[in-house]
Structure 1
Amino acid sequence: MAEVTMAALVAAVRSGNWLISFPTDTVPALASRCDRGELIYAAKGRQPDKPLILMGANPEQLWRFVKGTAAEFKQWQAIAERYWPGAVTLVLPAAELPVGLNPQNTGTIGLRVPAWPRAQTLLEQTGPLATTSINRSGEPPLTDLKAIVETFPQVLTLQGWELPPTPPQPSTVVQWQEGEWQVLRQGQIVFTP
C-alpha cells in the first residue's frame, strides 16, 4: 500500500480503478467509487448478501440514493440532523443503485456521514463512496496502519494516517422498517429515535 497525498487519493478513487482506505470517527474505511463496489467484495472476500455503506460528506450528497414519502424524508432528515456527522448508519429504502453497492438488491442502502474532518474533506472532493470496514470478511476490523498495509498491499491510503483518540468502534446501524427504527448493530452511539 502506498501513502499518498489527499489530491492523489481523490484522483485515484475518482478513476474507479483503485481501492482506498482512510480513518473515520469509527473504524478505518475501505472504499471505492460508488459504482465500483465489486472491487471491495473481491478484496475482502465479502459475500454478496452483505450490502456496502454509502459514506458522504453531508446528508445532501446521500438523499438521492433513497426513496420514500415526504413524511418519511422529514423523519429521516430529523434523525440525520441529530446524529450526523457521527457514528450512526441509517439503513433506508433504496432508490436505483449501482449493482456493486448491493449485489442482491435487498431494496435498502446504508448511509453515513462521518465526524472526522479529513474523511469529510476527502468525501467533499470525491462525492459519496462505497465503504465498509477494512478487514478480510469474518475477521475483526483492522485499526492500525501496519496491519492494513500487510493485509491489503494494493490499497492506497492517506498520508498522515491518524485515528480518533478513543479506541475505534463500528457505527451503530439502524434500519427504517414499517415506520419505525430497528437497531441492527449496537456500536459506539446509543440510538434513540
Structure 2
Amino acid sequence: MTKVALEKLIAGVRAGVVVSFPTDTVPALATLPKKAGLIFATKQRSQDKPLILMGASAEDLWPYVQGSQEEYQIWQQVVNQYWPGALTLVLPASDRIPQAMNPHDPTTIGIRVPNSAIAQAILSRTGPLATTSANLSGQPALQTMAEIDDQFPDVLTLEFTPEEFFSENTILRQPSTVAKWTGNNWKILRQGAINLSI
C-alpha cells in the first residue's frame, strides 16, 4: 500500500518518484519532467506516445514552449477561454523540455492547466509535472485512487482528499481534448471533454 497524505505526496514528487492524484478529467500519473522515463516504464508505454506537461497556471507553462509574439497572443486567447480545463495544447517545445517527455518528437510538448483545486494545489508547490492517465498502456483509464493503488503498488497515491477539496464536482471522467498548433491554425488530435470553437 502506498497511500500517503498530501504533504508526503508532494515530498515524493520533489524526490523524483511517480505519484498519482485526481484531476478534472481522469486521475494522473505524474513525476518531475526530468524523470519522465519513469512514467513510460511504469505504464509500459510506447515512446511514440508523448506525456503532457501539467501546471498550476499558464504562466508556469509558457517557459516550456516557444513561438512568435503573434503566436503567443493566439495561444493566450485560447488559454483565456478554456483554462483551467480539459484542453491540452500541443505547442513548439522550448529547450527546457527534457527529451524524455516526448522521445518520438521532442520539438513539441502538450501543456495543460487542470480545473481541479487539488491538482492545482499540488502543482503550485511542485512546479509543472510530466503527466499521463493512470493505466497500463492500451487499457482503460483508472478512475479511483484505490484502483490506481492496486494496479501500481509502487506509485504514491493520495490517502484521502483534504477537506477543503471535498466539494469538487468538476470531474469529467473523460480525457482532455488535444489540439496541436500547426503554425497557423489548430488541428484536433483527440476529441475529448471540450469542444474547441476557434
TM-score scaled by length of structure 2: 0.92
Per the TM alignment, residue 167 of structure 1 is displaced from its structure 2 partner at its CA by 5.1
Question: Tell me, which stretches of 5 or more residues in structure 2 are unaligned?
Answer: none
The equivalent of 2:109 in structure 1 is 109
* CA spacing shift, 1:164–1:23, aligned 2, 3 Å: farther
Distance in 1, matches of 2:176 and 2:144, equals 18
Separation in 2, partners of 1:182, 1:105: 17
* Equivalent residue runs for 1:80-91 within 5 Å: 80-91=79-90
Runs of at least 5 residues in structure 1 that lack an aligned partner in the other structure? none
Question: Is 2:23–2:116's contact at 8 Å kept on the other side of the alignment?
Answer: yes
Distance 1:165 1:89, change over 3 A: closer
How far residue 158 of structure 1 moved from its aligned partner, in angstroms, is: 1.7
**Identity score, percent:** 49
Q: Distance in 1 between matches of 2:130 and 2:124?
A: 14
With normalisation by structure 1, the TM-score equals: 0.95
Is 1:171 matched up with 2:176?
Answer: yes
CA 1:34/1:74 → structure 2, altered by over 3 Å: closer, same or farther? same
Contact 2:177 2:191 in 1 (8 A): yes
Name the residue aligned to 1:63: 62
Runs of 4+ in structure 1 off by over 2 angstroms are 161-167
Aligned mates of 1:62, 1:157 — CA distance in 2? 24
CA 1:107 to 1:113, structure 2 compared with 1: closer, same or farther past 3 Å?
same
* Deviates most, 54-63 or 166-175: 166-175
Distance, in Å, in 1 between the alignment partners of 2:174 and 2:8 is 28
> C-alpha displacement at 1:165, in angstroms?
6.0
CA RMSD of aligned residues (A): 1.4
Q: Count how many residue pairs are aligned between Structure 1 and Structure 2.
A: 192
